[in-house]
């Protein structure tokens, strides 16, 4: 079984401002975008995020996607069971007017340490690792490979793990050493499915992403 289904799901259009980068948004536009996101009623089966100054609405993952996310969460929960950190998913991560819903993340268990000021989710400064499982379709792939990659670096999140069934026969990419000013990463390590990926730092240091989480490499067609 591969990590994800290969047919692309239907997606709702993104709700975009006139800006092409978050740096171009003025305070009034940022506030309007934030208020619009907070009051959105998203249809069941969809989620809304603010990514690089745009509200993006996308479907939740299909069953195969959920399998990978669940295997990851379960393995992380066991690894972290004796620590003061926990494996989280399906919650907002908030950072200066942006809001993301990673497929998985590591943050403290204590709500007082992680809850953002408005109670809408977890503040990015409390997150030590995020994980995205890349969905089929160019828009979804660009979101995780490009836009979220930049956003997580801007937020200074120490570790970003991308599990990508659509990169060759499947690959895991580990991003560390965030450079917020450049929206980039100091170290990028990509390996094919079947090669173990060891988390090098933070509360999840020593946790290994294996084929038991990603599934095997998919066959070339």
74-131 pLDDT, tens digit each: 999 999 999 999 999 999 999 999 999 999 999 999 999 999 999 999 999 999 999 9
Residues facing 99 on adjacent strands: 50, 94
Q: What is the largest CA-CA distance in the chain?
A: 50
CB 126 within 8 A of CB 113: yes
Rg (Cα) of the chain, in Å, rounded? Answer: 17
How far apart (Å, rounded) are the C-alpha atoms in residues 217 and 51? 30
The domain segmentation of the chain, as residue ranges, is: 22-214
The pLDDT confidence band at residue 25, using thresholds 50, 70 and 90, is low
| pLDDT tens string 35-84 | 999 999 999 999 999 999 999 999 988 888 999 999 999 999 999 999 99
Least Cα distance to 35 among 93, 99, 92 occurs for 99
The structure tokens 């993006």 sit at: 56
Looking at the chain, how many residues does it have? Answer: 221
pLDDT band at 20 (very low <50, low <70, confident <90, very high): very low
| Distances, alpha carbon 53 to alpha carbons 27, 37, 73, 144, 145, in Å | 11, 11, 29, 15, 17
Distance CA 101, CA 111 (A): 17
pLDDT value of position 16: 36
User: Vertex 91, ends 82 and 58: CA angle to 5°?
Assistant: 140
**Average pLDDT over every residue of 201-208:** 98
Q: What are the start-end ranges of the H helices in 91-195?
A: 111-114, 138-142, 148-154
The total of other beta-carbon atoms located within 10 Å of residue 164's CB is 22
**Residue 79 DSSP one-character state:** H
DSSP, collapsed to helix, strand or coil, labels residue 216 as: coil
What global pTM score does this model have?
0.87
Can you tell me the distance from the alpha carbon of 26 to that of 98, in angstroms, rounded to the nearest whole number?
A: 14
Q: Which class in CATH covers the domain with range 22-214? A: alpha beta
Q: Is the pLDDT of residue 214 over 90?
A: yes
């Amino acid at each position: 079984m591969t990590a994800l289904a290969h047919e692309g799901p239907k997606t709702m259009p993104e709700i975009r401002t006139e800006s092409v980068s978050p740096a171009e948004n003025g305070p009034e536009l940022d506030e309007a975008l934030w208020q619009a996101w907070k009051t959105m009623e998203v249809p069941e089966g969809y989620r809304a995020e603010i990514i690089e100054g745009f509200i993006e609405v996308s479907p939740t993952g299909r069953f195969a996607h959920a399998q990978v996310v669940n295997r990851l969460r379960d393995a992380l929960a066991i690894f972290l069971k004796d620590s003061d950190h926990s494996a989280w998913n399906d919650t907002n991560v908030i950072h200066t007017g942006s809001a993301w819903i990673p497929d998985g993340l590591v943050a403290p268990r204590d709500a007082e340490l992680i809850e953002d000021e408005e109670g809408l989710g977890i503040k990015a400064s409390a997150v030590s690792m995020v994980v995205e499982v890349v969905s089929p379709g160019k828009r979804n792939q660009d979101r995780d490979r490009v836009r979220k990659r930049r956003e997580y670096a801007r937020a200074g999140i120490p570790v970003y793990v991308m599990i990508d069934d659509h990169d060759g026969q499947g690959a895991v990419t580990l991003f560390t050493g965030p450079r917020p000013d450049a929206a980039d990463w100091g170290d990028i390590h990509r390996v094919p499915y079947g090669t173990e990926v060891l988390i090098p730092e933070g509360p999840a240091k020593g946790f290994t992403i294996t084929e038991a989480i990603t599934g095997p490499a998919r066959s070339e067609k």
